[in-house]
Homo-oligomer: A and B are copies of this chain.
């Protein structure tokens, strides 16, 4: 019997779980599939994780934490709200591209309440971040007056759509730039330049 260290096994299992969960969803993935993919026995899984739920939760926690930190770090020094929004969108989309798998797993399942708390607190953090950017942008005159909370919800929704479209249909790989442009400028032709042109790195749409 080839005996491995517990640590190796644990990370093997996590890698396998990620692969299987993202291919078959939470319900579609079986512990046997994960075990087989991790080259361990079914029983072995239960040495490292209490059960299927905990295994999936561990994966989600890690990923959401990573993204949270990445966002926070990136936005730390940024003063210009237009740039901040763009960065926010870009990082989210790129993270999504890198980790398609778990996003699918999450959006695919339901009736599994166990990820809920995690996700709620993550989205709340994201909302707060955007709200602050918006407020700054309105104060500085870059953004037009709007209901901050409402607009934040809409931006989050929009972003979720971008992410899901990308993840669901691989061919839907629109660039972060295009997404930012739509959110910032909208569809309509504008005859003016953005209010704060010097700080704006994007070409206007007219």
Give the B-binding residues of A (Cβ under 8 A): 23-25, 27-28, 82, 85, 104, 107-111, 134, 137, 141-146, 150-151, 153-166, 168, 172, 174, 178-179, 182-192, 194-195, 205-206
Contact = CB atoms under 8 A, between A and B. Distances in A.
B110 A205 contact: no
Contacts of A185: 144, 186, 188
Contact of A158 (B143, B146, B162, B190): B162
A160 B154 contact: no
A190 B187 contact: no
Nearest to A147: B178
B143 A187 contact: yes
Contacts of A165: 153, 156-157, 160-161
